[in-house]
Structures are given as structure tokens and as C-alpha cells.
Chains A and B, each alone.
Chain A
Amino acid sequence: MQNNVNASGNTETPYKTAKNCRHYAMCKIDFLGSGVCTSGLEKQFVSYYPQGRMILYEALAENKISVTKKCVEIANSCNLCGKCDLQCYFINEMRPTKVMEALKNHVETFIKNGGKIKPPKDDNLLAEIRKIVGDNWATNDEAITVTYSHDVSPISEPKIPDYVVMPNTKEEIASLVKLFNKNNIPYTMRGNGQNLLGFAVHEGVIMDLNRMKTIEFDEKNWLVKVGPGVSAFDLQKQAQKKGFRINAGEPAALICANIMCSGIMSTFSTTYGINADNFIDAEFIDKDGAFFNLNDASSPNLYAYQNLQHKNSPGICVSASIRLHPMTEDESGILVPFQTLDRALGFIKDCAIRHIGLALGIVGAEYISAFLSPTKAMASDIKDIFIHKLDIPYLVVVIGDRFAIRTIDEMGFPYFDQRLFNALYLGLPSLKSAQWLNLVKELSDDEPYSYLRIKSFADLLETALSPSPALYSQEIDPELRPFFERLFLLEEITDLVWLNMYRIMSTRLGRKKPFLPVLIYLPIDPVLINDLKDKFRLIAEKHQIDNDMGFITPIDHGKRCIFEYDYFFDYNDPDEIKRIRLAATEANRLVDEYSIKTGTVKGHPYVLYQGFCRKENLLYS
């Protein structure tokens, strides 16, 4: 095994591929309609999903663990179907099947060479746990525990827990809490490990809530009650079937965990809100194993907000009643281009104040290019084209009904509508060789992007770019190309409304390098935002960290916005890890300074474990 090779940024070998797993848990949801790893669905532990096998293989390669009984079972449970290649390639341009194959080979060779399979440790506590959840749902086998040693946070230190438990009911969780308290064992709840601050890894016990996937609709009241194992993607899918939409975060994030950690935010937060706007009630188990409901008069006041960076968890959220929002048939998405951030900010503020559009967000060229491009190399070219040829450093995405779109028309902003977006998206490879782009700036001379007003511009763009699933897929790995050609025939995959609801592209932002977002709440003030943006950039440059603006979404009718600035780094490069930590510390300090200076800026880390608070308490207290 190749445990002595530098794994930075290179995914040629199984080891390097495993080392570059982003831990986004996207292989646990069926976001491409290609199916999900069968063994994962059956066994539920992350270890049986491609993500878990990647971590397992990495641990074996680095001699961190031995071959155990579960290790053999995990290796054998993979049927090399290749589904993970499709999913992982879509996001990260990686093909995990070779890791799965290498894992199987490793185990097979180990056994063939007479290697001794490490037996499970006898453990009284484990026996007690199993009495509560059943034999199959608790383990101390290191082949499983090691796969819970990472989360999505790129700067957290991996920690291997002693036990992993998968309860199925709230009663089981309550019993487990009491048991752990009695034995003085620390425990941590885990959804899909989407915590950006490294709080989903811990020693002691990890309680993986992925078995608790109940979804109960209350259509009369536009509500849905979900268990803590329901992902944003799966809930959105179910809600859409019933003609509704939820305000959803990252697709693989589990709804309850997402609310718990920081509150749900998305481009739809412009109208659907953040934090307590997204639910009407939730059920908890407190630190003693007792139940309480958020709306009980005697419950702790989780609607309050305290400006504390390390607030303790209020308990374990075991269900939440989530708001459903109606969808109308005339919804569509548009992209409004801007030459400067100031103008884009003016536009979103105006829209938010006037209640125009359902979802609003400014994205920078890094986001645009990463989201749209099927490969890293193309993303780099496309970013350059957007900035230098198309003169589009910023795009505002607007989702709205026909009245909203008509209003934006009347406001006089040229935009890419769904048809133009389709042409641009599926014709992306043609942009690289498009000589005519040299003329686009001239066409914008009198009015920026005035060419978008040409009545037949969509026809022209389609002629010039010849968009098609085949063209879009031409730079994709030839083996996977047929699948992607079929995928991009699906209407939803280029539909701006669908893409904003399901957010399957956002994890592509980490394809080039994993990223650490600096998230803040602040007024939509161009001077303030530009000032912070410049300072975030200077901090990153000082520490030689790749960086770019992420997104800005207005909230609370334009009074505030969510602003994300991203720092990119290679988490297989220890030096870069050191530098990103320094940069992150300085960026947080900067936010603190602005928070004191302005009284209106709030850093996202302060919201940790306060996701249930009222946004008014968070934003204005």
C-alpha cells in the first residue's frame, strides 16, 4: 500500500483518491437519480457507503487500524456497481470505485496471506448499548469507528470514537443518554457530518441518527414533521411531490442537525427566512434523557440568542415540524449579470425591500464557474471567460413567479432567462473557442449586457454554442460520458428553480480544493461589504491561501444579508492547514472587530447550537 506518498491534490491512485474524499456525504443521497450504494442503504453505518470505505482504505493504508471482522464485511459488501463513480465524478471529478476495488484486494490479499483478522473487543458497555438498540446497531469495531473520525470540516483533527451507535427511536436515544451519563461516557450526535467547525467528531460515543427517517406531512397546515435522519434532499423531493417546497440547506445535510447547528439558510431565505422562521416546533431530549418540546411553556427558551462563541448544545433534537411553502406553476429562474458588486448589492436590496422574487443571491465568478463546469480544468477557463470576455464578475440568481420576472423586466435589467441559461450551460465547452466573445464588450458599451435584449439572442446563442448534453459531456471521462449525456437530457438538471431547491451543484465549489467559508450576517451596505471583502482577501493573501467571494443573500426584507467569503486549501498539505488556521483565526477576529465597531455585523460561528433562535434576536440583539 502506498502510505508514503504525498496525497495532495492528486487522485491518480486509490490511496490519493481516498485521501481526497471531501466527506460531503453526497454518496448517501440519490441526487443524480442513479441510485445509492446498496450496502449503505442496508447497513446504514457510513462505513458501508463509498465515503466510509474511502476513509477505511486510507486508515488501512496508513496502518492506523488492522483488518477486522467488520472490515472484511465492509469490503465484501461492495459489488463494484460504479454508482459512486457517477456521483463523486459529478462533484469532485473523482472515481471512488478504484478505492473500493483496492479495499477488496487489500482484504483478500490479507486473508490469502494468512493474516489474522482482529477479533471484536469484549465490552460490557457495548453489550448494554446493544440491549437498547439491538446487536446490529452498535459497534466498537475500529473498521466502523474510524469512518466516523472525519467530518466535513477541513480543519478539525480526526478523532476515532470508541463506539458508534445507530438508534432508531427517540426512546432509544433517551435510554442511551441515561446509560452514557451513568457511565460517564461522552457522546456526540451526528447527522451526515456536515458541521463546518469539527463538532461532529469526538472520542467516546458517536450516535449516528441516520436510521430515524420518518416524514409525516400535515398538508392542511403546510407542515411536515421529520425525524433527525432525514436529509434536505430527500425531504425536498417528498415535499415537491406534494406541490410544496422547504427551505433547505446543503442536500446531504440532515434537517434537524442543520437547524440545530446554525439554522437553515439558502437563497430562498430571502422570503422563507432563517433560523426559527423555518419550523414551528421541535422535540428534544435533554442532557438527563428527559423529553421536552420547544413550544412547551416550561421548556428552555431556545428562541433566545446569546452572543457566545461556544454555547453548549441544548439537547438532542429528535424531530422538527418544518414549514412547507407553496409552489406555483409559473416559477422560473433568471440570472442578472453585474459588472460591479455595488450594483449587484443595490439590485438585491431593492428586490428584497420590494418583495420581488422568492430566492435571491449574488454569486461571484468562482461560484459560477465551479457550479456550471463539469471539470476543474473547464471551471478555470470558464471563470476567466466570465470575468474577462463576458465581463460578468457577478450574477444575481433570482427565482420568482411570472410577476416577479416581469417586474425585473420593467426595472430595466437585462438577464439570462432559463432558455439562455440552458444554452450557456450545455454549450459551455464552445465558449472556450468562441471568437465572437471578443465583441461582447463592444455590444455592452452603451448599456451593459444590452445584447441580452436582442429578441432573437437565445436563437443566436444556441446557434453559436450548439448546446447539447453530448457537447457538455465531451470533457468528461469517456467511460462515464454516456451516463452524463443521459443525465443532461433531464430537464431538471438545468432548471434554475430545481437547482436552487436541491443545491446539488454547491459541493462542486470544493472540487478544486476543500474550502472553509467565512459566514457573516450584516446590513446590505456596499461600503461595509467591500471593506470586509477586501480585508478577507488580504488575510488570505498574507497566508497564501486561495480565496474568493462566495455568495450574498438578502434576508429580513433587505435589512440584512448573509455573506460568505471562501478560503480554499489542501487538507493533505500540513503547511496549508497551518496557514488556513491562522487565516481563519484572523478572519474571525476581523469579524469580531466589525461586530463591536458597527453593532450590526454577526459572525456565523456565534450561532452554533443556536439555530433554533429567532432571527430577530440573532440579527438585532
Chain B
Amino acid sequence: MYCTRDFAEKKTYCIHNSNPRILTVKNKPTIALTGATGFLGSHLMASMLSCGYKIIILGRRTKEETLQERISRLLQWFGIEELTGQLELVEIDFLKPMLGLPEAEYKKLCLNTEQIIHCASDTSFAERKRDIVFKTNVTSLEGILEFAANAHVTFLHYISTAYVAGANGTICQECIPCASDFFNVYEESKARAENMIYSFCKKESIPFTIIRPSIVYGDSRTGRSLKFNALYFPLQSLMYIREIYLNDIQNHGGLKSNPHGIFIDKEGYLHLPLRIYLPQEGALNLIPVDYFVNATMKIIVNASPGEIYHLTNNSPTTLEGISAYNERFMKIKGVEIIYAKSADNVLRNPAEELFDRFVEPYRLYLSDNRIFNRVNTDLVTDNFYPPEFTYEIFKNCMEYAIRVNWGESIFVEEHRES
């Protein structure tokens, strides 16, 4: 637990789960933050508050909750118990002129905003959701850019993705993307958004940065996370498949498991023949959310206008590595990685077929061999690197995920613990 001080009233607040330090609010710009209810945005919000920034959260209400309620719930999760003066919430509509605000309020918002961090994003990979993804990631950007111009911000920081480089890149540079072939609609929309930002900011002389994280998982020290997709989802699905067959073996004599060669071996491991087909060898580029936050904070302080920063791992993790961690953690044997162009003619057992469906959206990332240049990042972050994805980190992350039922009971569990 450490302390932070209120922006205006110099109050002291408690923040859990970190090392103690005293922060000041002197010379810190007031930052308008979008996407504060999301995974990365919420971590940025918490960190910036702890560092004494004054933040204006721009966001939406949902059918069930107001923006205030959404943010309060998150602050509680971060252990931030009281905030006065340091945090302002403004309910906006990204798609409406003046962000859907009355003129006076919009003007006031422009006046009070010194920097913007645009973190709001739709991270869906589904082609079916192309229109929604583009609406969120591209169309709504117009309102933010106009706001940046009207507010005469000293910086617009855009949280993008390392994968805007496109499907065909091998060495990905920290420059504006020109790719036309992407893994999915998410990458495509983010690339389009980067281009929009570049053109607009150049025209309007707005200083900007683009921050490109790779795949972000939970906190490397505690395993805590707010979102359980990407790295987590295939593992979660594997755990459920394991439970289904364990139940069959333990309660129904393996009626459905035996025909597929699924059994519990003498060491108590579940033998689950599961061949994962990948198009090529490669690795998963993983960074923990604490690294993302700390590196971003350094970038905000030290950024050069117009620069792009890759927040990526120089030591990506192979699927074989994750599979080995998983074997140890879940006590599953039989998972096999097979590199082949297609598995269409292979006869697969039901577990394989189901797991294959779960893995499908992530398959290309699992065998990725892109290398991310991070010259700019190393420069402004003073060679600050993400940790290697070790078994300890894996274990912490999985244990936390299971404890909060993969996010289902995250706020209930946290409340109980606090």
C-alpha cells in the first residue's frame, strides 16, 4: 500500500498492492483519458492517480451503470478509496459533435484539458463485428481529434497495438503503418486510426505519440488482471475441457473419455490427446500490464512529438513453453504442437475439435515471428524491459484468474478480500 495526495486539497489516499512512495502534483498536466473502464485504460487511470495527475475521464454509461458507478467499482478494485478533486468524470458521446456536450461544458472541457490519452477501443477480432469495431476505433476518433485541436493540447497519446504492422511484416518499425493485409479487423482498424491521427495532427500541429503494446496479460508481480482474453482464453477453455473429461472419468467411469484415449495416468495427470495445429513456428509476444503502465508513464513524461513506441517483449514466449507451464499447472499431458499448413484432413477427437475452435482467433498470434523494433521506446524508457514470462508469473496469473472465476466474480472476490 502506498499514499498519493489529492490534486487540490493535498489529501492523502491509500492505494493497495504497490510499494510505498510519496508523490507530488506539481507540474503535472491535466489529462483527459478515454477507455478508463477498459483493461489498459483503468490501469493507466490508477497509476496516474497514484502519481498525482489530475484526470478527466471521458466515458459512457452502460444500460446498467452510470460512468460514476463503473469508475467507482474499478477504483475499489485498485484499492483507491477516496478521491476528491483529482478525478473528474464527463459522460460523453464520441460520435456526436462536441462529444455530445452542451457548448459551455465542451468549452470548459477544452479549457481544462492539457493532454489526452485515447485508450478507448473495441478489441474484437470478429469480422462479423467489422462495422462496430470501425465505428469505435475509427469513426469515433474524429470527435477526439477535433477535441484535441479545440483544446490545443500539448500532447495526444494514442494507445494502439504492435500488430498494426500487418500480417506480412517481419521486422516491424516504429513508424506509421502502410500494411494492407491484417490478421483481423481489430488490427486493420487500429492501423487506419494511426494514419488518421498522423495526418490530422500533422495538419493541425498537434504533438502526438502512438504507444503500441503487444499482448498484455495481468500484473507480473501479483497476477491480478481485469480482463481474461488473449493469453487467458485458450487456457481457460483448456481448463474447462479438462474439467468436463475429469468429471466423466471420475463420475461416469470414463464412458465418453475412454473411446478417445482420455484417462488419468498413474501420476494423477489427465492424459488428453490434444494436437494444436499451427501454420509455422513462432512465439507469443507478451507483456504484463504493470510493464505497460510503467513504460507508458515514462513515455508520457519523456515523449518526443510524433514518435511511436513499441511496448513489446524481446523474448517472446513459444507455445511449447506455455504448454509446458500448463502441463505442470493443470496436470495435463498429451498436448502436442504440430506445425502444418492445414489440419483439414486430420481426424480429430471432440476435445481437439472444440479447443481448435477456441484457439482459432489467436492461432496466428501463437505462431507469430514478427520482430518489433523498439529504439524509440528504449530511449525514452531508459532501457526498461518487460520481464520474461516465467512459470512463476504464469502460475500467479492463472491462480488469480481461477480465483476470480476468469473475471466472472472479479468484483465480488475483490470485495470479499478487502
Contact = CB atoms under 8 A, between A and B. Distances in A.
B256 A443 contact: no
Contacts of B129: 445
B124 A445 contact: yes
What 5 pairs across the A-B complex have the smallest Cβ distances? A456-B350, A436-B240, A463-B256, A445-B126, A446-B126
Nearest to A442: B233
A445 B128 contact: yes
B350 A439 contact: no
Contacts of A455: 353
Contacts of A457: 350, 353-354
Interface string B159-182: 000000000000000000000000
B19 interface: no
Contact of A435 (B126, B348, B405): B405
Contacts of A446: 125-128, 361
27 contacts: A435-B405, A438-B240, A438-B406, A438-B408, A439-B233, A439-B237, A439-B358, A442-B233, A445-B126, A445-B129, A446-B127, A446-B361, A447-B128, A451-B354, A451-B357, A456-B354, A457-B350, A457-B354, A459-B350, A460-B350, A460-B353, A463-B244, A463-B245, A463-B350, A464-B244, A466-B251, A466-B252
Interface string B247-259: 1100110001100
Contacts of A464: 244
A454 interface: yes
B361 A445 contact: yes
B405 to A, nearest CB: 7
User: Which secondary structure dominates where chain A touches chain B?
Assistant: helix
Interface string A409-451: 0000000000000000000000000011011001101110011
A495 interface: no
B346 to A, nearest CB: 12
A546 interface: no
Contacts of A439: 233, 236-237, 240, 358
Contacts of B348: 456
Nearest to B260: A459
A459 B353 CA distance: 11
B139 interface: no
Interface residues of B, number: 33
Contacts of B405: 435, 438
Interface in B103-134: 124-129
B317 interface: no
Interface of A: 435-436, 438-439, 442-443, 445-447, 450-451, 454-457, 459-460, 462-464, 466
A450 B244 CA distance: 20
Given A445-B125, A445-B361, A456 B248 contact: no
Given A436-B240, A451-B357, A456-B350, A463 B233 contact: no
B349 interface: yes
A456 B126 contact: no
Contacts of A456: 348-350, 353-354
Given A439-B237, A445-B125, 15 more contacts: A438-B408, A439-B236, A439-B240, A442-B229, A443-B358, A446-B125, A451-B354, A454-B357, A457-B353, A459-B350, A460-B351, A463-B248, A463-B256, A466-B247, A466-B252
Contacts of A463: 244-245, 248, 256-257, 350
B173 to A, nearest CB: 31
Contact of A459 (B125, B126, B128, B256): B256
Nearest to B356: A454
Given A436-B243, A460-B350, A466 B248 contact: yes
Interface in B127-165: 127-129
Contacts of A436: 237, 240-241, 243-244
Interface in B237-282: 237, 240-241, 243-245, 247-248, 251-252, 256-257
Contacts of A454: 350, 353-354, 357
A466 B253 CA distance: 12
Nearest to B236: A439
A204 B248 CA distance: 64
A436 to B, nearest CB: 4
A436 B233 CA distance: 12
A448 to B, nearest CB: 8
Contacts of B358: 439, 442-443
A456 B259 CA distance: 13
A239 to B, nearest CB: 39
B230 to A, nearest CB: 12
Contacts of B357: 443, 450-451, 454
A110 to B, nearest CB: 54
Contacts of B351: 460
A460 B126 contact: no
Contact of B244 (A442, A443, A460): A460
A77 B173 CA distance: 91
